[in-house]
Structure 1
Amino acid sequence: MLSDTAVRQAKARDKDYKLSDSEGLYLYVTKAGHRSWRFKYRFDGKERRLMLGSYPEVSLKVARERKTEARRLLVEGKDPALEAKKAAIERKLATSNTFEVVARNWFELQKDRWTLVHANDVITSLENDVFPTVGALPVTEIDEPMVLLVLRKIEKRGAIETAHRTRQRMSAVFVHGIAEGVAARDPAAVVGKALKPVPRSRKRPAILSIEGLQDLFRRTEVEGAAALTKLASRFIALTAQRPGTVRRMAWTELEGINWYDGSDAPDALWRIPADHMKLANELKQDEEFEHLVPLAPEAVAVLRATWCLTGAGPLVYPSNRNARVPMSENTLSYFYNRCGYQGRHVPHGWRASFSTIMNEWALRNGTPGDRNVIDMMLAHIPEGVSGSEGAYNRAAFLERRREIASIWGAMLFDCLPAPHKLLSYRLR
């Protein structure tokens, strides 16, 4: 058997030679002086050799340990050389399958199921919050403390909900990696309870009386601001639809209105595409799930005034910088805050205003079933109705919805200036 001294003193000779240790292990010395450990064995009736590493990087002790492991594989009926090649391939795959690579593969498979806005939110959150910390690491080497490190950074800036959403997305990436055979487990699955709990959502502030809402219009519409902002405020109020849906509304979604002769539009309708609605992902691709909004005369009047400003472009309420980009989600919020309504009323609050006031009106003046009709107008699924049935029933009670929309519009804008007058008001 070899000693450490004999190995250390092995020098180059005129030709290659080897120094035997035991059980097939030997040190191979080239005439250039390079020394390496090799293991000679027989497998399937043939003599084979396995490289165990170079000396001095691999010591005599480590070489013997590797030889012992190779002999164990032989006892199990496995070829050590083949197992070594498989291990090398696995190491190469591990280093090439970084978290970022696996995450982008997962994203490409999923993005067609999402709206463009949601898809952009997903990839942006990964690029900003995850990839800088663990994106370059092999997905197999990321453990729970590393995942928690990513999420703690998000928590420190106060974005608790974002931290929880990011954990879910990281978990989905690991699960995808497991399915693809490039990951063994999901370390993001168990760290959720280590995060700060998501705070209870606060109700969006909303004024719940007609008098208060009329006063809001009187106060805001004399302020110096763009006419388009004030018209968007009126339209959200009249339709009680989600602000994001109004901001993305295209002129092509509107039906039953002649923009050139000013005639009545008793059948005016806003047909909101399914992919703009708050629906399950798989329903957003189905045209049957579009939402129909009958437009009251007051809403048509707002649109006619708006047409004078943006009718030449694709969007009804675009950004003031680009006619093809929707108005900023903050425009109306800032407008209301500037006018003194911070903490009192927000754009999304119009839905609560409409629901509260019109449900109270229905109790006194309405017909049986008006509560469900009002829910449908808000694109809510009525109580006791299944999700699929409710979604496919969005066109139900269209005439009653039109009647309620007209009553709401008349109540809201009684004694207020016509919308076209907003075009002549001063700018901020």
Structure 2
Amino acid sequence: MLNDLKIKKLKPTDKVYRVADHSGLCLEIRPAGSKFWRYRYRFHGTAKMLTIGQYPEISLAYARAKTMEYREQLAKDVDPVSFQKNEKKSAIQSHVDTFEAVANEYLETKKNLKSKDWTTLRIRYLKKDIYPAIQNKPIKDVDSLDVKEILDNAIARISSGGIHTGEVKTTLVRQIIGEVMRYAIVTKRITNDPTYALRGYIQRPEVEHAKPVDAADRPYIMFKIDNYNGFQSIKNALKVLIYSMLRSIEIRRGEKRFIDFEEKTWTIPVASRKEIQEGKRNMKKNRTHIVPLSDQVLEIIKKQFELYPDSEYIFPGDNGVSMIGKTTLNMAFKNMGFPHITMHDFRATASTDLYEADFNSDWIELQLAHVKGDKTRASYDHAKWMSGRREMMQTWANMVDGWSSKADQSIIDEYNLFKPKKKPLD
């Protein structure tokens, strides 16, 4: 058996030679003078040998301990050479398959399938809430406790701002982690999704559905829009949103090319795959949607074309060219004194009032773009019911105009008396 004194006395020769210790362990002395621990064994009748490491960096005691490990593996019918190769491969793979690396790979696969907004949203929450906890952790080692800690920290971060309680956005954080995990399962990195156990951990608040605008508010809506100290395009956009039953995204992204003055229609086309990738979806459901235009809407749109000839949008933002911001319309209503009214409430109002006026339910649902079935059937219905829907939209616009007749003149007079006077132009 070897000891450190004997090992130091071993001198190199012009050929490699080995000196046995015991149990298959030996020290290999090479002509250059280096000494390496080697383990010799037989596996299924075949002679094999593997390197443990160089002496003195690898001590005699450590080499003997590793020899015992290899003998235990042989007793279990495991080849130590294959086991060592798999360990190295696993260590390399763990470095390659960190959560961040797999997440980046997942996002890359979606680059040509999803919009830029979709990708940007995920990168934002990955950086803010997910990477600080598991960025460099091998994805196979991420467990439900890791996910729970991320969710707890995310809801604390979001709710600390005082604007949101955090449940909805924290649920999105869990969803993003789950997307990456399921991609890892498909690509055979892992076998289980640790987010599955936490599906009900974050209780989302009840959704506040759109509700019809209160009768007490209706008489003053158009009056306050007219007297709003804001950009004319925003005021006109608000009016058309109310008259047309369109969503705010459809108003914001409405382009002049969608308008046919002869047919008196606003046709929202299907967005191409490239447009969707660039975040240019024209409406919530990516399908053709035709809006018959009332006289009131036509008049406003004609004015917009005259006021903003250089913009591709019907209702540009403050610079007169670019698209209106995402929150601009709702913020305008809040500034007018209607913080309790959202843009979607006007769609609920139109739906309720038109049902009560006994209009065809199919016309109403189609006008709201609540279309079921295939796109071909939807296009057929648009053409089939155009005459009836045109009458319905004109009736709705007249009903909206009728709100103002119920306003309390004393309140309007008081408003006009104290509203800020416009300064004369120099």
TM range (shorter): 0.7 to 0.9
Other structure's SS at 1:39 match: strand
User: What residue is the counterpart of 1:276 in the other structure?
Assistant: 282
TM-score by length of 2: 0.79
Among all aligned residue pairs of Structure 1 and Structure 2, give the percentage whose two residues are the same amino acid.
22
Q: Shift of the alpha carbon at 1:374?
A: 0.6
Cα distance 1:46–1:9, how it changes in 2: closer, same or farther (>3 A)? same
The residue identity in structure 2 corresponding to 1:308 is E
Partner of 1:162: 169
Q: Please point out which of 356, 362, 373 is paired with 1:372.
A: 362
Shift of 1:167: 1.0
Q: How big is the shift at 1:357?
A: 1.5
Offset of residue 377 of structure 1: 0.7
> 1:147 offset after TM fit, Å?
1.8
* Mapped pair 1:412 → 2:410: no
Q: CA deviation at 1:150?
A: 1.9
The one-letter amino acid paired with 2:234 is T
Whether the 8 Å contact between 2:312 and 2:321 is mirrored in structure 1 is yes
Task: From 268, 288, 291, give the equivalent of 2:289.
Answer: 291
What residue in structure 2 maps to residue 260 of structure 1? none
| Alignment check: 8 A CA contact 1:270 1:295 kept | no
Structural RMSD (CA):
3.3
- Give the secondary structure class of the aligned counterpart of 1:11: helix
* Residue 337 of structure 1 pairs with residue 342 of structure 2: no
* Correspondence for 1:107: 107
Task: Note if 1:216 corresponds to 2:221.
Answer: yes
Distance 1:12 1:204, change over 3 A: farther
Distance 1:147 1:303, change over 3 A: same
Residue 398 in structure 1 maps to residue 386 in structure 2: yes
Would the alpha carbon gap of residues 182 and 412 (structure 1) be closer, same or farther in structure 2, given more than 3 Å must change?
same
AA aligned to 2:397 is G
Instruction: Note if 1:51 corresponds to 2:51.
Output: yes
Deviation at 1:405, TM superposition (A): 0.9
Give the secondary structure class of the aligned counterpart of 2:39: strand
Q: Which runs of 5+ in 2 are unaligned?
A: 160-165, 272-280, 406-420
| Alignment-mate amino acid for residue 153 of structure 1 | N
Q: Are the structure 2 counterparts of residues 223 and 319 from structure 1 closer, same or farther at C-alpha, using a change threshold of 3 Å?
A: closer
Question: How many aligned residue pairs are there?
Answer: 388
Alignment partner, residue 248 of structure 1: 253
Aligned match of 2:324: 327
Give, in whole Å, the separation in 2 of the partners of 1:27 and 1:13.
10
* In structure 1, C-alpha distance between the alignment counterparts of 2:400 and 2:394, rounded to whole Å: 10
Per the TM alignment, residue 399 of structure 1 is displaced from its structure 2 partner at its CA by 2.1
Q: 2:308 aligns with which of 307, 310, 324?
A: 310
- Cα contact 1:224–1:426 (8 A) shared by 2: no
Opposite residue 295 of structure 1, the aligned amino acid is L
Matches within 5 A, 1:168-187: 168-187=175-194
- The 8 Å contact of residues 351 and 364 in structure 2, kept in 1 or not, is answered as yes
- DSSP 3-state at the match of 1:26: strand
Distance 1:57 1:308 in 2: 84
8 Å CA contact 2:254, 2:268 repeated in 1: no
Structure 2 match to 1:420: none
Letter in 2 for 1:219: K
Mapped partners of 2:335, 2:238: distance in 1: 14
Shift of residue 230 of structure 1?
A: 0.2
* Cα separation, 2, equivalents of 1:391 and 1:130: 42
- Counterpart of 1:335, as a letter, is A
Work out the CA distance in 2 between the residues paired with 1:201 and 1:11: 78
What secondary structure sits across from 1:323 in the alignment? coil
Cross-structure match for 2:357: 361
Answer with 11-20 or 238-247: which moved more.
11-20
1:214–1:413 CA contact under 8 A, matched in 2: no
3-state DSSP of counterpart to 2:333 = helix
Matches within 5 A, 1:111-260: 111-156=111-156, 157-158=158-159, 159-193=166-200, 195-204=201-210, 206-209=212-215, 212-254=217-259, 256-257=260-261
**1:17-36 equivalences in 2 (<5 Å):** 20-28=20-28, 36=36
Counterpart of 1:346 in structure 2 is 342
Q: Work out whether residues 73 and 80 of structure 1, in 8 Å CA contact, stay in contact via their aligned partners in 2.
A: yes
